[in-house]
Amino acid sequence: MQKALDQGASYADARRVRRRTENIFVRDGKLEQVGLEETEGYNLRVLVDGSFGFAASYDFDKPEKVVSDAVGIARASANVNKKKIEWLHQPPVSGHYEGPMEIDPFTVPLDKKVSLLLEADKVMATKPQLKHREHFLQFWEEEKEFFSSEGSYVTQHYVESGGQIQCTAMEGTQMQVKSYPNSFGDFRKAGWEFIEEMDFVHHAEEVADLAVALLTAPNLPQGVANIIILGPQLSLQVHESVGHATELDRVLGYEASYAGTSFATLDNLGKLQYGSPAMNITSDPTLPYGLGSFGWDDEGTPAHQVYLIKEGLLVDYLSDRETSAQIGHSSSGASRGDGWWSLPIVRMTNVNLLPGDKTLEELMDMAGEGFVFDINKNWSIDDKRLNFHFGSEAAWEIKNGKKGRLYKNPSYWGITPEFWNSLVAVAGPQEWRVWGLPNCGKGEPGQVMRVAHGTAPALFKNIKVGGNE
């Protein structure tokens, strides 16, 4: 960093990242893949003449080249940028963050991990209608150091664990997929204890039975209905229609060429009734087990909770030190880079729909008649995060406040602010949990980030629904 300052940088920061991953994949009773990977490198970001430059390397013996590349890129950018970067200065920070973990998954024998998946698969294999079965475990360890020319130095270390079991039932032209605990799996900042908690073997028969039952279930009838969306499905709804829509770089147009902009523009801040008063959304990287949890983001901003939507009103954005300076706010602490090779950009942390005070049974009573949607199957959303369509793996009828018959191929659709303004109530803390999403894509070149969403079952009124073959 000192070399960069000597060459004209007004600010510099550096990150060293070591990442270790293990992936285990079982298909139809056979071990298909065991992948072990470890990578380590470092990067330097510099601010020169109001423009950023960034360079990275795995070669720790040649820092001079990284410095010269970063400074050179910044100078070249300064020659073409029409506007100098506004930069929010912050006090220096120091400390260490250690993620929660009871049992280090990297010390658990491989045969124990494989046996767990094979045992769950064996339970499913007793159903002749199940033509395909796929299951995985994934473990992730990351160690980070962050330095800045402002005097910051922080270290972070955490382990993340997750997995999934899934089966595909087929009969004639019918095909139905059922997953546990979610269609993306589920992940936490935790160790092997989380895998034991999910208890794949115990749930395998239930998942298999439901997949088979979906083959003969009717399609969800088309119409307008009250719906209860359970946590796994609702987590993706939050992700797509709130999380991405409130990323400030997207709002400012930085992401337009890849995945669109946002309808939640700056003129709507403090004015847009994004949802009903029951809608409270926070960015909170302080949650103990979330994939989006940390001690400091990749610019050294301490983790803290920020309301994005309060009682339905848009009040803030996910931001970093560059974008927040443009609107006169402090950074929300959402600057994150994928590995040592990536420039940090605005990313989701743990973006949560806060719980209300109802039980699921009370939501069913309030719905009267309608449908319960669970676990995402497919989705689409437009480039402004407005018009969306979500399909779920399964839905159930609500009749007289009780859960009834099963439906296949259910979907619902709407327009983001109309949908969230139809929110009637959210279940309470006893129903609320954080769902890990390990594959959020953004940026050019593309980056994959691990994020999370806290949700509880929620009741929405007068939503368009239907079922397709």
Residue 461 carries which side chain, given as an amino acid letter?
K
- Confidence check: pLDDT of 370 > 90: yes
- Residues 61-90, mean pLDDT to the nearest whole number: 94
Counts of helices then strands in the chain (DSSP H, E): 11, 23
For residue 304, the model assigns a pLDDT of 99
Q: Which of 195, 25, 28, 23 is nearest to 121 (CA)?
A: 28
Cβ distance 161 to 108 under 8 Å? no
Distance CA 243, CA 246 (A): 6
For residue 286, the model assigns a pLDDT of 99
Per-residue tokens: 178: 């059922």
For residue 345, the model assigns a pLDDT of 97
Distance CA 312, CA 420 (A): 8
For residue 469, the model assigns a pLDDT of 61
For residue 257, the model assigns a pLDDT of 75
Q: Which of 134, 199, 186 is nearest to 160 (CA)?
A: 186
pTM of the model as a whole: 0.97
| Band of residue 339 on the pLDDT scale cut at 50, 70, 90 | very high
Question: What percentage of the chain has pLDDT greater than the value 90?
Answer: 96
For residue 373, the model assigns a pLDDT of 98
Q: What are the residue ranges of helices labelled H in 321-401?
A: 321-327, 360-367
Residues 182-200 have pLDDT tens digits of 999 999 999 999 999 999 9
3-state secondary structure of 311: coil
Q: Which domains does the chain have, with CATH numbers?
A: 2-216 (3.30.2290.10), 223-467 (no CATH)
For residue 393, the model assigns a pLDDT of 98
Distance CA 443, CA 447 (A): 6
Cβ distance 406 to 252 under 8 Å? no
Residues 245-278 have pLDDT tens digits of 999 999 999 888 777 899 999 999 999 999 999 9
* DSSP single-letter state for residue 317: -
Residues 24-75 have pLDDT tens digits of 999 999 999 999 999 999 999 999 999 999 999 999 999 999 999 999 999 9
The more confident residue out of 444 and 42 is 42
- DSSP state letters, 113-153: HHHHHHHHHHHHTT-TTEEEEEEEEEEEEEEEEEEETTS-E
Quote the mean pLDDT of the chain.
97
